[in-house]
Amino acid sequence: MDFLSKIASVLVLLNGLLGSVFNVFVVYLYFNGSQDKNSFNFICLTRAINNIIVLAFNFLLLTFPVVLISENFYPAIIETVIITSIINVYLVNQIQTVAIALNRFIALYLPFRYKALCSNHVTWVIMGALYAQRGYETSTKLYSFISLDCLIRFDSDTFFTPFIDDARNCSKSLPVDSNLIVLMPSIFLSITDSVIVEFAFVSTVFVWESIHTLDGLIMLMFSDRVSTLRAKFARIMDRDNQVSSSSWMGRSRRPAGTPSLPGVA
């Protein structure tokens, strides 16, 4: 394990933990905020959950140990399930980006139609159908991969996700959308004729992870319930300060009848 692998693994770990915290706060504010839970906040909730899933499974559980020890940590079938599922979760996030843009467009230019066009029930149905469709795609793809013995590995040398044995033309089993996501970094690197491992790590791992981290931070900063989180932290800090002050005063107070030191009143 070289020095660069250690640095890369630390970056993946810290970025993943920080992004998970941001997105967990978004979920917390949705269920503990005092204001109405409108359709926009619900889309942000589902998007934050997607970010948590991607950061936890793809980066903290899969990428981090592979980068740290420079070899695959899990069995091939486990990596295949994680990679295939995460790709479809990522695709849900892309569609939700369009949904958020459309939601904000209606709120800005058609405010009197917002409750009718972007009601919670309409949003729930759309999000439910989206998750059901991607769940079906995930299950069918996994069945095809496993039945054909086409398993995917996270390559610790190139940071790509190739098939273990492509002699069976396993790449034809990939759907078009997932194929583009998986192969786009390798296509770009082949065009630029670059074999720099550091660039491969940044372009295929760190940037992708940072997108989910920044997504959670942006949703948290622009949340109309962020004041709830600030108030909770303020109460915790006040309570800790009161406890510290009480314990300090208790230690400094001398019990009655205790003899004083010579020369001290």
Q: In this structure, how many other beta carbons lie within 10 angstroms of the beta carbon of residue 85?
A: 20
- How does 225-243 read in b/e, with b if 16+ C-beta sit within 10 Å? bbebbeeeeeeeeeeeeee
pLDDT for position 53: 95
Domain parsing of the chain, residue ranges: 3-229
**pLDDT at res. 245:** 58
For residue 163, the cross-strand partners are 152
- Give per-10-residue mean pLDDT for the chain (265 aa): 79 94 91 77 93 94 87 86 90 91 91 89 93 93 84 72 58 50 49 56 81 91 66 66 59 54 44
CB 225 within 8 A of CB 33: yes
Give the model's pLDDT for residue 261. 43
> What pLDDT does residue 8 have?
85
The pLDDT value recorded for residue 214 is 94
Give the residue ranges of DSSP H helices in the chain: 3-32, 39-53, 64-69, 76-109, 114-117, 120-147, 176-192, 197-201, 207-221, 226-252
CA dihedral 117, 118, 121, 124 (to 10 degrees): 130
Alpha carbons 182 and 185: distance in angstroms, whole number: 7
- Compute the distance between CA of residue 161 and CA of residue 113 in angstroms, rounded to an integer: 45
Model's pTM, two decimal places?
A: 0.76
Query: What pLDDT was estimated at residue 179?
Result: 44
Class of domain 3-229: mainly alpha
